[in-house]
Structure 1
Amino acid sequence: MTLKSSGREHLEVVNCSDPRVLITVEKFNLWLFKSVVFLHYQTPVNGSKQDEFDVSWTFGNKKEKSRIRVNSSRSGRNNPKIAPLVQDNEINETSPRLGSETNFRNRKYLYYSRGGDYCKGMNQYTCEFLRGLGEAMYLNRTFVMDLSMYLAGSYNPDGKDQEGTDFRFYFDFEHLKEAASIAEEGELLRDWKKWNRSRKKKDPVKKVVAHKMTPMQPRKVKSTIIWRQFGGQEPENYWHRMCEGRAAKYIQRPWHAVWKSKRLMNVVTDISGRMDWDFGTCGS
């Protein structure tokens, strides 16, 4: 997926769910800060204005082992214009809207931070993702989704890993929305911030370190958000650790919720249609 620039133009609205927003920030940082190694980026979220976004990252000096975390607020003005995703009128890939603050507060969420499985192959990612979704369905909570994926180099012609690819290109997001209750990470964080800013009493959140609490225990937790944080070392920070042992009897992977993306299958159909009818036969 390439970035398109049309010069120093005024960008009215920044779409934070577009993975090219993060890619733009990453490329700009690599160009500007030559002596810095960037270790991890968080998904961009909407800023205080439509043409602004906020993003945070962890970095360190290339010659040292220290790590520093910063938050940066960026404006869409005077930055390369990010090309919109190719639209298909037959596919509804819009993120579910949380609605009013009241609706946000009355719903319950399960929020997973990124774990070691984020930088693995597609098969492992899919299994891990379905474990998190399975726990959310078991707890009758809305699963908070990070639409930004990490595509392993084994899937790319140049053999290089690619961060910031879009979940909706590989999976049928429209079907997923119908099969399970989900919310896009950026929208949840925005509404969560808005709620906390407008209320004296902060919205309750239950923070849990990785798998220290089994999926059966949070069933009685009343907090609006259960936030599982996977900041440890591999393999302790894998999502599937949530469903080991006795928990495996309760948490099932909802395979029915994940289909191949219509967009991807349209590409496959188009390529197949341009090939000879016998392209699938075996030679002698």
Structure 2
Amino acid sequence: GFALGVYARPNSEPSQISPPSTMDPSRPLLGRGAFLSSSAHAAAAIILIAFLLLTLLRLPLSPSISIYTPAPLASTPHHHLQHQDHEDQEQEDASSCDLSSPLDCADPRLFHLMMRSAIDAFPAVHFARFGRPVPGDPPSASCDMAWRARTNASASASPTATTKDYRRFAIARDPHTCAYSVTSIGDYHSGPNARKPRPGASNATAAPPPPPLSRSQFAAATYLSYHGGGDRCKLMPHYMRSLLCALAEARYLNRTLVLDLSLCLAASYTAAGMPEEGKRLAFYFDIDHLRSSVVNIIEERQFWEDWDRWGAQGQLGLRLIEDTRVAATKFSKAKDTLIVRKFGDVEPGNYWYHVCEGEAERVLPPPRHAIRLAPSLMSIVDDIILSMQQDFDSVHVGGSVEDLIQRIEDGVDVGRQVYIAGEGINTVSMEVLKAKYNNLRYLDEFQRLWRKDSKWFLEMKRLNGGVPVKFDGYMRELVDREVFLKGKKKVEVLR
């Protein structure tokens, strides 16, 4: 139990109950008559004092009496009192703390804790603003929060540009006090509940097919189609040159581009060393950005289904052009619903990019600015950059490993972290280099970002209708080159 003591404040009003030691036995008592003899007086006084003491000891404390407890002395077991109070508070909190209940992600205290945790966890990131947290999955143990931020690397390219991310925060609650703590923060785009949904977005495994167009809707637009050609299964620089030409002409003519969004990957990018069909352009590049920044694009298969329904009977006009030397300026005012450029079977005269050469070159500049990596690949790039120093140098290898070693020794500051990119990089050669320079990094060190339990793998499987997608050679090349371009000091090692 507690030992209670009654203390008087200095210079305060007298307490309602005066300690016995302050009583003056010479004062007359209530109801007292004539003075007694000295002996009788002493005896009476002793009896009276004893009676008062016994009465006081049995007197109950009234709730209206204020007891002042001064600061404890060194010998006072104050820590015991605090511990007892803390235990009582924990018992009181535990009775109202249901750990299985959903987290209150809107709690300002939790919001501030998540912000501080993010700032501490990512010192190389400059946060612009945070979104309000929302329940994660499971809602009893996580909250998702979005933010806009920039890194030092991105700031050098565009000081005002920011990128959006949304992460899942694992939240723990103390079983006694219900106090919050952040136990972990997920990887890039791990908190989808905090993502602002795009108009018409779907959570289905694969995107649903677009609804069929009515005749009036289909006829309201005009179209440009490239048919045939020898660009399939070529190296990606060749394919991209032809694709940019088609985009440029469709933009110049202000027509929707009819495009096969599947592609054949060249043998040099595949593990089997054979061309591989069944790839999707969206695996590599941001199709939505192309549509919004250059020209509208319609899937080839969908277009021909609609054409068979509304245009094949001659109801809509079609113009066929079989000579790639006919410049777009010659038919820019054509009123036909569809213009088809038909390419022959003889290479190299049947490559799409020939359309943009000669007379047409001045009016068909390639829209290179519109080519962005697919968001799934950019997430890998961002994670690699975040795992490195704020400022790092980069080297792109186009020659032999011996050329690389010489260039590192001659021109790279070995005191800084260096990212090595290029098709000549392999684990054996890099481990030899890292034995001498321990600050070197290269792509294969980050394989966890595309293994089967990664966000990239799951997102690609969703885009591909539930069928897994391999991280192929062209994806490697795109990611490798993008990280190289983010380096502060960039060095090309050529043959």
SS in 2 for 1:213: coil
Say what the alpha-carbon RMSD is for the aligned residues: 2.9
Q: How many residues align?
A: 194
Q: Which residue of 2 aligns with 1:215?
A: 328
Give the whole-Å Cα distance in 1 for the aligned partners of 2:385 and 2:246: 37
The letter for the 2-side match of 1:178 is S
In structure 2, the partner of 1:240 is 353
1:12-27 equivalences in 2 (<5 Å): none
**d(CA) in 1 for partners of 2:311 and 2:362?**
37
CA contact (8 A) 1:107 1:142 kept: yes
> Which ranges of structure 1 fall in alignment gaps of 5 or more residues?
1-87
CA distance in structure 2 between the partners assigned to 1:255 and 1:152 by the alignment: 22
Deviations 1:45-83 (A, max 9, x none): xxxxxxxxxxxxxxxxxxxxxxxxxxxxxxxxxxxxxxx
Partner of 2:298: 183
Say yes or no: does 1:203 pair with 2:203: no
CA shift in 2, pair 1:97/1:172, >3 Å: farther
- SS for the counterpart of 2:373 is coil
**Contact 2:213/2:306 (<8 A) preserved:** no
Residue number among 243, 260, 276 corresponding to 1:162 in the alignment: 276
What are the superposed Cα offsets for residues 12-56 of structure 1, whole Å, 9 maximum, x if unpaired? xxxxxxxxxxxxxxxxxxxxxxxxxxxxxxxxxxxxxxxxxxxxx
Residues 89-145 of structure 1 show CA distances to partners (whole Å, capped at 9, x for unaligned) of 878696877743212112111100131112211111111101011001001111111
For the residues of structure 2 that align with 1:273 and 1:118, how far apart are their CA atoms?
Answer: 33
Distance 2:315 2:261 in 1: 27
* Structure 1, 109-118 or 203-212: larger mean CA deviation: 203-212
5+ residue gaps, structure 2, are: 1-191, 390-416, 421-432, 438-495
Residue 134 of structure 1 is matched in structure 2 by 248
Inter-partner Cα distance in structure 2 for 1:97 and 1:174: 18
Q: Deviations over 1:156-185 (max 9, x none)?
A: 122221012111000101211211221111
Partner residue of 2:365? 252
Partner Cα separation in structure 1 for residue 320 and residue 281 of structure 2: 26
User: How high is the TM-score relative to the length of structure 2?
Assistant: 0.36
Q: What residue identity is the alignment partner of 2:258?
A: V
What SS does the aligned partner of 1:119 have?
coil
How far off its partner does 1:232 sit? 2.8
In structure 2, what residue type is equivalent to 1:181?
Answer: N
Q: Percent identity?
A: 35
Compute the displacement of 1:202 (Å).
Answer: 2.9
Q: Closer, same or farther in 2 for the Cα pair 1:241/1:96, shift >3 Å? A: farther
Contact 1:98 1:188 in 2 (8 A): no
CA gap of 1:243–1:191, structure 2 versus 1, over 3 A, is same
Aligned residue among 232, 257, 260 for 1:146:
260
**Change in 2 beyond 3 A, CA 1:252/1:273:** closer
Once residues 189 and 133 of structure 1 are traced to their aligned partners in structure 2, the CA distance between those partners, rounded to angstroms, is 19
Whole-angstrom distance in 1 between the partners of 2:363 and 2:210: 27
**Match in the other structure for 2:485:** none
Please give the alpha-carbon distance, in whole angstroms, between the structure 2 residues aligned to 1:210 and 1:112.
Answer: 12
Tell me which amino acid in the other structure corresponds to 1:163: E
* Cα gap change, 1:233 to 1:126, in 2 (>3 Å): same
TM-score (norm 1): 0.60
- Which residue type is aligned with residue 280 of structure 1? Y
In structure 2, relative to structure 1, the CA distance for the partners of 1:252 and 1:114 (3 Å cut) is same
The letter for the 2-side match of 1:177 is R
The amino acid that maps onto 1:262 is P
Any idea what the Cα deviations from partners look like across 1:208-241, whole Å, max 9, x if unmatched? 1141421111112211000011123011100111
Q: In the alignment, is residue 100 of structure 1 matched against residue 100 of structure 2?
A: no
Q: Is the 8 A contact 1:135 1:215 kept in 2?
A: yes
Are 2:377 and 1:264 aligned?
yes
User: Which residue identity lines up with residue 250 of structure 2 in the other structure?
Assistant: A
Shift of 1:276: 8.2
Secondary structure at the residue paired with 1:222?
A: coil
Determine which of 238, 242, 246 is the counterpart of 1:124: 238
